[in-house]
């Protein structure tokens, strides 16, 4: 049951005591004792809790999850000692963990702001002395390093169950009486801003708005810059191993950059482009083994849970081995990703982008063409190619044929993401929908193969471990399950591809993009 | 969710006091608690400063025509809500008798609120009737305050036999001595004699003026006299009850 609630900003020149006095003249109130609270707000790097309208704060050894607008507590639990990073599974089992886990998923929670607030609770009573509305004056200050930055004071107004009319009456009176306006977002937003951050965290989404008549090279620069931003934003978290999504988002941005370099090659000067394509390919390659092991471990529990009887327990030595391999792969990756060569690659790429539009157009045939023409041409060509490739796939086709189609599909997906803003949503949305459905099947088909191969490659090592024999047998079952799931994905291919390549769809794609 | 019904066929034995105080203690401990004041006298509702009024009355509620969630009132105490009493509850038996499977009706009302609460306390009217049978079916625990007198114990035995014989999925029956006057020999003797019985909790609630003062303060006893004899006894009773019902949760 959610209670009606709002937060109103108090004018800078009105102290908390004056608020209580002004209220006492109009309402039957009882002022409680003021108290100070120190809180550290936590969220994921991409602000998943804030997006879900939630705030998670730690104070006095407890973690409290609250509804953002109402600041009404939804669940709480003890804060694990000395925590600087928390995954949902680090929390004790209970309502807080249950509520957080589906929101944050595999992402780590880290502190995003520290706030010290002085609270003055004020209860509004009815004629028989019953509390019908709860008010709280909050005077917060952000703690930034060793300095304290006062933040705008706010008045929390929270209803009491079954007393909605009183809430409305009091809220209206407050707005009228004190001229208060609703606060924008929770207090943690003010604290994050005061520390120079951006409320809501750092998104890895593209969020591009291109102009239809824009030069193709200018559009490519806008896309590539955004992708570079995502790479750079996720690099520190990848190196520090905060959670697996930093590496994932970094890899997606690198892959998208490579797709852009390939598909819009005609807007870049050929020679430096060749160097950057090779540099980005290398970047992709050095992050691959770590990501494969991340995926294997992220899905490990689910896979193991599917094992019959005691085999779920038997397979634990494999988990330890995977973790050990991940540690080694990560060490290699961190050395390479954190190297001067990587820094130089990204820095030089940024410089090329900065000067691209003004640079000589010779060797860049698509540079000055309208982006709609170039993008449409590429989307239509890749789509047509996919339709041809897919139509040739039959029951006897090798796995490589499906893998190649998946790669092409990624290319198309990225093109659609880059240029979505140039085309009608009613065309792009269903096209992305059918492509996504197809890619899901192709992705599962390939991932299961990679996972099964990885397990097979570890067979000798697992056999040599203590408890290796039962683990090896359980792994055999795991590999079988992975291959069975791969077969299911393959069986679903035809149905998904038929939708993607339907005649009606082809017509619409041709009309829109060719 | 656990449903605890404070029940006794007799009136004035401490049902309202135990309902209000244990509900408050449970909420203080972090649980989400609902107290349903089923007694048309509305004493629990009065103690929590809420008007004894249910929109549409008890009949619509037990007939499934009112949404119970819309009738709830937040109390002055965090996590403790009340489904208030209404004078129309005096006709609860008639209202139930008009329905199919009348003894399942109260459970149905409670089921609709199950996701929102960890504990539901029922403050029951003193009677044995169709409404009582509906309470027996809804409750996981019947918490019976006993005055330490031979007649009161006889009634308790009757209740145990009735519930065992007539209720399809009988609740756990737990009694405790209430309004104990340690100066009276009869009280001491009865308590000693019955305390070994499985159905009787170790904690007794003394007869204390603090309990009567609840009506003056209109607050749970533990909220204004937590450290008095009665306040401590209720806290101990809640601990003991919690241990007993833990496996049932």
Classified as helix, coil or strand, B67 is coil
Q: Are B78 and B122 in contact (CB under 8 A)?
A: no
Torsion of CA A334, A336, A341, A345, to 10 degrees: -70
**pLDDT digit string, tens, across residues A411-424:** 999 999 999 899 99
| Band (A70; pLDDT cuts 50, 70, 90) | low
CB burial class (10 A; 0-12, 13-18, 19+) of residue A267?
Answer: buried
Span B106-134, mean pLDDT?
A: 94
Inspect the interface and report whether the beta carbons of B72 and A129 lie closer than 8 Å. Answer: no
The whole-number pLDDT of residue B249 equals 47
Q: How many CB pairs under 8 A join A and B?
A: 26
Residues in chain A closer than 8 A to B81 (CB atoms): 161
The ipTM is: 0.89
Q: What is the largest CA-CA distance in chain B?
A: 52
Inspect the interface and report whether the beta carbons of A131 and B76 lie closer than 8 Å. Answer: yes
Residues in chain A closer than 8 A to B116 (CB atoms): 1
Span A29-48, mean pLDDT?
A: 95
A162 interfaces chain B, CB cutoff of 8 Å? yes
Distance of alpha carbon A399 from alpha carbon A432, whole angstroms: 24
Among residues B19, B25, B17, B23, the alpha carbon closest in space to that of B6 is found at B19
Distance of alpha carbon B96 from alpha carbon B105, whole angstroms: 7
| Band (A14; pLDDT cuts 50, 70, 90) | confident
A22 or A225, higher pLDDT? A225
**pLDDT digit string, tens, across residues A182-210:** 998 889 999 999 999 889 899 999 888 89
Is residue B247's pLDDT more than 70?
A: no
Span A267-296, mean pLDDT?
A: 95
State the residue for tokens 């520090």: A240
Q: Are B6 and B26 in contact (CB under 8 A)?
A: no
Is residue A103's pLDDT more than 50?
A: yes
Query: How many Cα atoms within 13 Å fall on the side-chain side of residue A26?
Result: 15
Picking from A76, A129, A162, the nearest residue to B73 by CB comes out as: A162
Distance (Å) of CA A12 to CA A15, A150, A466, A475: 8, 11, 67, 65
**pLDDT digit string, tens, across residues A443-484:** 999 999 998 998 899 999 988 888 888 889 888 988 999 999
Distance of alpha carbon A334 from alpha carbon A132, whole angstroms: 57
Inspect the interface and report whether the beta carbons of A160 and B74 lie closer than 8 Å. Answer: yes
Among residues A233, A232, A339, A347, the alpha carbon closest in space to that of A286 is found at A339
Is residue A250's pLDDT more than 60?
A: yes
**pLDDT digit string, tens, across residues A124-157:** 999 989 999 999 999 999 999 999 999 999 999 9
Q: Are B6 and B143 in contact (CB under 8 A)?
A: yes
Distance of alpha carbon A229 from alpha carbon A250, whole angstroms: 10
**pLDDT digit string, tens, across residues B47-90:** 999 999 999 999 999 999 999 999 999 999 989 999 999 999 99
Task: State the pairing for strand pair A154-159/B2-6.
Answer: unpaired
Picking from A76, A129, A163, the nearest residue to B74 by CB comes out as: A163
Classified as helix, coil or strand, A63 is strand
Instruction: Indicate the pTM of the whole model.
Output: 0.76
Distance of alpha carbon A485 from alpha carbon A480, whole angstroms: 9
Residue ranges of the alpha helices (H) in A356-398?
371-391
Distance of alpha carbon A129 from alpha carbon A123, whole angstroms: 10
Among residues A455, A241, A476, A221, the alpha carbon closest in space to that of A337 is found at A241
**pLDDT digit string, tens, across residues B176-215:** 999 988 788 877 777 777 766 667 898 999 988 889 899 9
Residues 456-495 of A with CB under 8 A from B: none
Residues in chain B closer than 8 A to A163 (CB atoms): 73-74
| Band (B248; pLDDT cuts 50, 70, 90) | very low
Q: Which residue of B has its CA nearest to A131?
A: B76
Q: What is the DSSP letter of B200?
A: B
CA angle at A497 for the pair A492 and A503, rounded to the nearest 5°: 145
The whole-number pLDDT of residue A71 equals 65
| Band (A175; pLDDT cuts 50, 70, 90) | confident
The whole-number pLDDT of residue A69 equals 63
| Band (B154; pLDDT cuts 50, 70, 90) | confident
Inspect the interface and report whether the beta carbons of A1 and B218 lie closer than 8 Å. Answer: no
Cβ neighbours, 10 Å, residue A112:
25
Q: Are B23 and B71 in contact (CB under 8 A)?
A: no
**pLDDT digit string, tens, across residues A330-376:** 999 999 999 999 999 999 999 999 999 999 999 999 999 999 999 99
């Amino acid at each position: 049951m959610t209670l009606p609630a709002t937060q109103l900003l108090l004018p800078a020149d009105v102290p908390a005591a004056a608020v209580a006095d002004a209220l006492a003249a109009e309402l039957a109130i009882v002022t409680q004792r003021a108290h100070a609270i120190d809180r550290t707000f936590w969220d994921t790097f991409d602000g998943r809790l804030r997006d879900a309208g939630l705030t998670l704060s730690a104070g006095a050894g407890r973690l409290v999850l609250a509804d953002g607008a109402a600041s009404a507590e939804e669940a709480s639990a003890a804060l694990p000692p000395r925590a600087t990073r928390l995954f949902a599974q680090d929390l004790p089992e209970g309502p807080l963990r249950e509520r957080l886990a589906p929101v944050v998923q595999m992402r780590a929670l880290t502190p995003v702001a520290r706030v010290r607030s002085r609270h003055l609770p004020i209860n509004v009573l009815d004629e028989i002395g019953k509390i019908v509305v709860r008010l709280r004056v909050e005077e917060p200050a952000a703690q930034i390093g060793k300095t304290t930055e006062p933040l705008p004071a706010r008045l929390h107004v929270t209803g009491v169950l079954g007393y909605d009319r009183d809430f409305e009456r009091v809220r209206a009176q407050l707005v009228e009486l004190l001229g208060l306006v609703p606060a924008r977002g929770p207090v943690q937003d003010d604290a994050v801003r005061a520390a120079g951050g951006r409320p809501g965290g750092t998104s890895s989404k593209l969020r591009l708005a291109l102009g239809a008549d824009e030069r193709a090279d200018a559009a490519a620069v806008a896309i590539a810059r955004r992708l570079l931003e995502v790479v750079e934003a996720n690099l520190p978290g990848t190196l520090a191993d905060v959670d697996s999504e930093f590496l994932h988002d970094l890899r997606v941005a690198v892959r998208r950059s490579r797709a852009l370099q390939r598909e819009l090659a005609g807007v870049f000067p050929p020679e430096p482009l060749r160097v950057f394509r090779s540099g980005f390919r290398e970047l992709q390659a050095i992050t691959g083994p770590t990501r494969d092991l991340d995926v294997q471990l992220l899905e490990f529990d689910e896979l193991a849970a599917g094992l019959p009887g005691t085999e779920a327990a038997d397979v634990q030595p494999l988990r330890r081995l995977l973790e050990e391999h991940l540690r080694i792969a990560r060490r290699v990756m961190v050395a390479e990703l954190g190297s001067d060569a990587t820094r130089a690659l990204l820095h030089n790429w940024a410089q090329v982008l900065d000067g691209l539009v003004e640079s000589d157009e010779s060797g860049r045939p698509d540079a000055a063409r309208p982006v709609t023409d170039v993008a449409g041409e590429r989307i239509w060509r890749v789509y047509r190619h996919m339709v041809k490739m897919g139509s040739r796939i039959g029951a006897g086709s090798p796995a490589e044929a499906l893998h190649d189609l998946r790669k092409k599909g990624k290319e198309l997906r990225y093109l659609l993401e880059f240029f979505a803003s140039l085309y009608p949503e009613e065309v792009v949305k269903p096209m992305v929908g059918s492509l996504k459905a197809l890619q899901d099947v192709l992705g599962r088909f390939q991932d299961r193969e990679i996972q099964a191969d990885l397990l097979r490659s570890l067979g000798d090592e697992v056999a040599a471990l203590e408890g290796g024999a039962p683990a090896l047998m359980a792994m055999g079952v795991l590999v079988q399950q992975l291959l069975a799931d791969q077969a299911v994905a393959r069986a679903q291919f035809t149905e998904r591809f038929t939708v993607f390549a339907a005649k009606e769809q082809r017509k619409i794609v041709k009309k829109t993009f060719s | 969710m656990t449903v605890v019904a404070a029940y006794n066929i007799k009136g004035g034995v401490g049902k309202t006091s135990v309902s209000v105080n244990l509900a408050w203690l449970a909420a203080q401990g972090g649980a989400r608690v609902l107290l349903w004041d089923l007694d048309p006298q509305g004493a629990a509702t009065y103690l929590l400063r809420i008007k004894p009024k249910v929109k549409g009355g008890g009949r619509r509620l037990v007939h499934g025509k009112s949404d119970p969630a819309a009738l709830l009132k937040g109390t002055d105490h965090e996590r403790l809500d009340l489904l208030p009493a209404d004078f129309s509850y005096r006709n609860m038996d008639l209202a139930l008798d008009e329905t199919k499977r009348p003894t399942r009706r109260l459970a149905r009302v409670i089921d609709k609120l199950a996701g929102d609460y960890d504990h539901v306390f029922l403050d029951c009217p003193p009677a044995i009737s169709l409404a009582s049978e509906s309470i027996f079916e809804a409750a996981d625990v019947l918490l019976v305050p006993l005055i330490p007198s031979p007649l009161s114990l006889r009634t308790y035995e009757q209740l145990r036999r009735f519930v065992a014989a007539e209720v399809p999925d009988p609740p756990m029956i737990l009694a405790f001595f209430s309004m104990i006057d340690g100066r009276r020999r009869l009280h001491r003797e009865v308590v000693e004699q019955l305390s070994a019985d499985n159905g009787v909790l170790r904690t007794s609630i003394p007869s204390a003026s603090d309990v009567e003062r609840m009506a003056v303060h209109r607050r749970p006893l533990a909220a204004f006299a937590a450290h008095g004899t009665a306040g401590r006894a209720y806290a101990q009773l809640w601990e003991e009850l919690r241990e007993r019902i833990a496996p049932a949760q």
